[in-house]
Structures are given as C-alpha cells and as structure tokens.
Amino acid sequence: MKIRTFLYTLWQGIRNMFKNGWYSLASVATIGACLFLLGLFYSIVSNAQHILYTVEEGVTVTVFFKEEVSDAAVDAFGQELLQRPEVRDVVFHSDEEIWATFGPSYFGEDYQEGFPENPMKGEHNYEIYLKSVSMQDQLVTWLQSRSEVRLVRYSEVTASTLSGFNGMIVYVSAAIILILLAVSIFLISNTVRVGISVRSEEIGIMKYIGATDFFVRAPFVLEGMMIGLIGALIPLYLIYYLYDYVLNMLTTRFEMLSSMLSFLSLEEIFGVLMPVSILIGVGMGLLGSYITVRKYLKV
C-alpha cells in the first residue's frame, strides 16, 4: 500500500508539473537564474582564493645564525622548526650552495677565481614556508627571541596585504552568498505560492473528502523538489561549458597569464559546486512548496 501511495504521489507530482507548465517554467527559471549567479560567483571567488593561496605558499621567512653556533645546533634548530604550528616546510641552504647559486650570476663561470675562501661563509640559513601568512608575526617573534639567531628576514607588508585580501574575500563572499540565497528563497517561495494558490480549490476539495495532510501535501512537495532539481541542473550545465571555455581561452590565448596564475580545474570546481547546487535547488523547491501548501491545508 505504501508503494502504491508513493507511486501515486510521484505520478501526481510529475503530472502537476506538466499540467501547470507556465508556473513550472517560471519556478525553474527563478531557481536556475539564482543558482547560475551563485555558481558564477563561487567559481570566481574560489579561483581568487586559490590564486591568493598559491601566492601565500611562496612567502617565506629566512633565518640566519650567529657564527659561533655549531652545525649540530643548526640541525637541532631545524628539527625544532618543523614542530612549530606555523611551519609547513623548512629548506636548509648551506653557504656553499648559496655561493654556487649566486657566484655565477655576479662573477661569471670563473666566479671562484680571486676568492680563496667562500665569501658567503656563515650565511647558511633556513627558508621557512608558512601554513598561513597570518601566522608570520607569531613565528618571527619566536625566532627573534632565540639566542642562536642572528637575523630574521621577512616581508611584513606582503604578509599583511595577503592576509587582508584573504580575509576580505572570505567576508565579502559569505555576505554575497547569503544575500543570493535569501533572494532566491524569497523569489522561489513567491513563485511557488502563485502556482499553488491557483490550485487552492483543488486542495480544499481533497481535504473535504477526507484526504490526509500528507496525501495532499506530498505531490506538491515532490513537484517542488523536481522543479528545484531541474532548476539546478540547467545552470550547472551552462556553467560547466562556460568555465571550460574560459579556462581553455586563458591557457591557450594568454599563456603568460596562465603561467603566472594557477586556476582551479573543472573537477575541483564541480566537485563542490554540483552537490551544493543540487542540494540548494532541491531544498529550496521542497521548502517553498512545503511552507506554501501548508497555508491551504487549513480548511
């Protein structure tokens, strides 16, 4: 009996959706437009955050040691650095490596001639990669307090700028997404209300002949969920091909730009956007139809 009721409810939901074509089309268009804007905004913000994160990965803090500090103490310091909560990775540069890197750049291939000793002696250092640029001040304060450390080289302006941009993007994106969701729910609720109000007489008749609230409500709720699903899939399809086109254009026509900036792939964007859009679309269709039809159940 339950299966028959479910099948009947499902059939009625599908039938209502096609029976009220203009209402269904308006609802799909409303959901689709809202989710299309939401998807575009998410794609842009996600790439902006990804680019900022990529830039942050290149921000480093370099620490130099006093002459009297032994190699064993430097090694121990490196192990201690790796245990710090702010540190993502540590790279050691010996003074020989530094001289072999910079010597040819300034003095040519015969850079060792005229230098009986390594002029970079004592310049060995640790290049520290941070988990987040917002943690730089905390790490620098700790480094400067250590007796082994001679010099800490870092960029306070770069770190504060990147951290500020990151925070701004998070707050602005959260605010815009909430506004879009609120507008979407308002528009969809009104659209669903118009569609169901047309059938208020039908709902009243069903109630008078003894139909339960669930039996009356279920077809409309399923109809709203199906409309929400269709309204979510259409913008996903459009955004998929639009994002793919823009990504290919940036990588082929603007090779210099793509070499400087790192963009998220389709899989990375849609791994989050697809389930979220479907959930929002179906959820808004369900919520809008459930709340609206409840008003007409009080007969």
Q: What does the pLDDT read at residue 1?
A: 45
Q: What does the pLDDT read at residue 236?
A: 92
Which domains does the chain carry? 2-55+161-295 (no CATH), 60-154 (3.30.70.3040)
pLDDT in tens, 200-240: 666 667 667 766 666 666 777 777 788 888 888 999 999 99
C-alpha span between 28 and 229 (Å, rounded) = 9
> What residues have CB less than 8 Å from 194, skipping those under 6 apart?
23, 26
Q: What does the pLDDT read at residue 255?
A: 65
Q: What does the pLDDT read at residue 239?
A: 92
Q: What does the pLDDT read at residue 70?
A: 87
Instruction: Kindly compute the dihedral angle of the four CA atoms of residues 203, 205, 210, 216, in this order, to the nearest 10 degrees.
Output: -20
Structure tokens at 119: 């002029």
Q: What does the pLDDT read at residue 121?
A: 77
Answering whether pTM is above 0.75, one says: no
pLDDT in tens, 117-153: 766 777 888 898 988 888 888 888 999 998 888 888 8
CA atoms within 13 A on the CB side of 98: 16
**Regions of the chain short of the pLDDT cut 70:** 1-21, 103-116, 118-119, 157-160, 162-163, 184-185, 187-204, 206-207, 210-217, 254-261, 292-299
